[in-house]
Homo-oligomer: A and B are copies of this chain.
Amino acid sequence: MAEDSRASLLARCRAIVGASHVITDQADMAPFMADWRGRYSGRGLAVVLPLDTAQVAAIVTACAAARVPIVPQGGRTGLVMGSVPDLSGDAIVLSLRRLNRIRAIDPANRTMTVEAGCILADIQAAAAYAGMLYPLSLAAEGSCTIGGNLSTNAGGTAVLRYGNTRELCLGLEVVNAQGEVWDGLRGLRKDNTGYALRDLFIGAEGTLGVITAAVLKLYPAPRAALTALVALDSPRHALELLGLLQARCGAALTGFELMSAFCLDLVAAQFPDLPRPFAARHPQYALVELSSNESDQHAHGLLESSVGQALEAGVARDAVVATSQQQALGLWRLREHIPLAQAAAGKNIKHDISLPVSTIPDFIARADAALDQAFPGCQPVTFGHLGDGNLHYNVAPPIGVEHDAFLAHQASVNRIVHDLVDAFGGSISAEHGIGVLKREELARYKSPVELGMMRAIKGALDPLSIMNPGKIL
């Protein structure tokens, strides 16, 4: 790009958002360029921070006229490097963080209209203040933005009951690649008037347009939520427990997380102050959450009788039902500390995979065996959202092997795991998306027919290819 047209675009951006909201100093731009896990740092022409949808539209229009790529950015907490620019230095990073207004709450419609830059935790809090629940919940909720959640169709721990971010959104406002504003902010439960544009922009990782606002679904806040930790013989027993709880509890089952013994060993070693609910070590654990709109007593009765049945039937080995909010938090803390314990213990090779729930016991057995054959003694760190078929199947080095030496085998480990995922009809990215990190894996595992249709859509909606280029496709 010629120096003078670059200067003219930046002048236009300053005119649109104000000079103080166009950052071009390298040091000031640095925090917007870096992958937060420190794997990578890109380069950009500028960081632009618009205040509202009209400004976003004007910026996109200016960039389209100048053929300058745009990298939309939210809380920059993604795991696949989808919201940072490449090394060319050609792109504008469009930070949505100033679009952070909650525009409306409609309790009788059970909806909330929010701007893309709203922090997820603030949305949860606003819903709670109105006596409602916005169920999306994930580790980064204190800093991720809803625009990013929507653009990556974020998952989290409540998918079993409430679905992914896509299912929690009724309408969108989007600035498309031509800089036009699409007002699709509909708060409707039923609307069959043409193609599912909403669902297309959700999960598109900013490659088709910029989400600027959304109508979110709210739910009545449950009156009670109870937690239990259940000790199990095997993943197959976990699957049986899941089936038993779903049949007995229906939608009251709001969480079902699997953790292997090795995961809790890691947590115990790194965080000795956390609770140790069982005296004995068990092969597998399920963290179960039950919610009730009726009463604490109802949830208690249902959880105790269900867990009791699982124990009697030999599905479960042992169980602890939390009798206080604090005990419940302690049990959840075990689950939440697995990633931290992994990080503290040293790097491992991560996978965010999903499978048909019914195949998970077989998958784990086959993957464990294949990895052990290729890398004897390597240590799978198997945990995840079993109820959704979503495993974080990570692989730590054999005892005595340096972490960095093991990480040199990342490509071979990925190949073993992802080939098996593919053979089982699974997904190589359950909830993190594709970004840059999994682009080559996507090209490997998606059929040419599907890739062809995705490219046709990208070409149709972003013919100049300025929206987050190099991501997904």
Contact = CB atoms under 8 A, between A and B. Distances in A.
A197 B203 CA distance: 11
Going nearest first, the 7 A-B pairs with the smallest beta carbon separation are A251-B251, A250-B293, A460-B460, A108-B358, A199-B199, A191-B427, A190-B430
A160 B239 CA distance: 28
Contacts of A473: 194
Nearest to A247: B220
A459 B461 CA distance: 11
A358 B109 contact: yes
Contacts of A345: none
A195 B451 CA distance: 9
A413 to B, nearest CB: 19
Given A167-B167, A188-B356, A199-B199, A429 B193 contact: yes
Contact of A456 (B164, B425, B461): B461
Report how many copies the assembly holds.
2
25 contacts: A109-B358, A153-B192, A167-B167, A180-B449, A183-B447, A186-B425, A188-B354, A189-B387, A190-B385, A190-B427, A191-B427, A193-B438, A193-B445, A193-B446, A194-B434, A194-B450, A194-B472, A194-B473, A195-B453, A195-B454, A195-B472, A197-B450, A251-B252, A457-B457, A459-B460
Contacts of A390: 189-190
Given A193-B428, A196-B196, A248-B293, A456 B447 contact: no
Nearest to A442: B193
Interface in A426-473: 426-434, 438, 442, 445-447, 449-450, 452-454, 456-461, 472-473
A184 interface: yes
A12 B249 CA distance: 54
A276 to B, nearest CB: 31
A357 interface: yes
B456 A460 contact: yes
A167 B189 CA distance: 11
A426 B251 CA distance: 29
A59 interface: no
A204 interface: yes
A457 B195 contact: yes
A195 B203 contact: yes
Contacts of A182: 447, 449-450, 453
Contact of A389 (B152, B190, B200, B447): B190
Contacts of A164: 190, 192
A330 B192 CA distance: 31
A18 interface: no
Contact of A453 (B176, B183, B252, B355): B176
B199 A196 contact: yes
B449 A108 contact: no
Contact of A193 (B159, B357, B434): B434
Contact of A356 (B106, B180, B204, B302): B106
Contacts of A472: 194-195
Contact of A192 (B433, B452, B453): B433
A450 B176 CA distance: 10
Given A390-B190, A427-B193, A447-B182, A250 B251 contact: yes
A110 B433 CA distance: 24
Contacts of A199: 166, 196, 199-200
A442 to B, nearest CB: 6
Interface in A173-225: 176, 180-184, 186-197, 199-200, 202-204, 208, 219-220, 222
Contact of A195 (B187, B204, B355, B357): B204
A188 B353 CA distance: 10
A294 interface: yes
A327 interface: no
Question: Could you say which of A111, A203, A222, A250 has the most chain B C-beta atoms within 10 Å of its C-beta?
Answer: A250
